[in-house]
Amino acid sequence: MTLRALIFDVDGTLAETEEAHRLAFNETFAAASLGWHWTVADYRRLLATTGGKERMRRHRDDIGAREPCDETIADLHQRKTIRYADILHGGGLTLRPGVQDLVAAARDGGLKLAVATTTSRPNVDALCRACWGLLSDQVFDVVAAGDEVSAKKPAPDVFLLALERLGLAASEAIAFEDSLNGLRSAKAAGLRVIVTPSIYTCGEDFSAADRLLPDLAALPAPDLLRLWT
């Protein structure tokens, strides 16, 4: 079937955002006098759990703590989201190699562009403002975010939501991911998947990917699109 859309994960796929997320979490924890501080090793482990609130709950449970409660965690996550946007607004975040060219080539070729992510819509907007100077709906035709589905990756829900909003079958789209959970999610939705591992996911098993690339600049955008048409 003819290729009609590209569906992108956000964190780690469009840009290497995870360090900004980790910093935002730690600054939020410090401001709340929580006594938590996530190292790079901590965060790499916690990334196996999708969703910021879910990671905080996992950390709480892993250390055997009763606090913060789920309601407080939700409040902390809102504060962290604001802090993350402030960090991105300060500059320094760039798209991963090849992303800009692929998005432009897809637009020129009449393809639809979508996001399917476990992060929240404000975080997608923050990235798009930082990297494109635009809001997410000015860059993408569809945004499906983690807080809009009942089950996050590796469940297929967010990719299925993106396909529903695009009005397309899975065979008409390609997913772009950087993590094993994302790969599993996209595959469970019936999508073909191109994986470009990020600094936090480079050791994961991507043998199920349809294509594994170091980044999207490794194959020029026109050649990449021709592979799937």
Q: Which of 13, 59, 53 is nearest to 200 (CA)?
A: 13
| 11 has catalytic annotation | yes
Token output for 159: 């990719």
3-class secondary-structure state, position 173: strand
Rounded to whole angstroms, the Cα distance separating 104 from 167 reads 22
Which entry of 9, 125, 157, 178 is annotated as an active-site residue? Answer: 9
Count the Cβ atoms, other than its own, within 10 Å of residue 40.
12
Token output for 98: 């090849």
| 9 has catalytic annotation | yes
Which entry of 11, 125, 157, 178 is annotated as an active-site residue? Answer: 11
Q: Exposed (0-12), middle (13-18) or buried (19+): which is 221, by Cβ within 10 Å? A: buried
CB 10 within 8 A of CB 123: yes
Sheet holding 142-144, edge to edge: 142-144, 112-116, 5-8, 173-177, 192-195, 211-212
Report, as residue numbers or ranges, the catalytic residues.
Answer: 9, 11
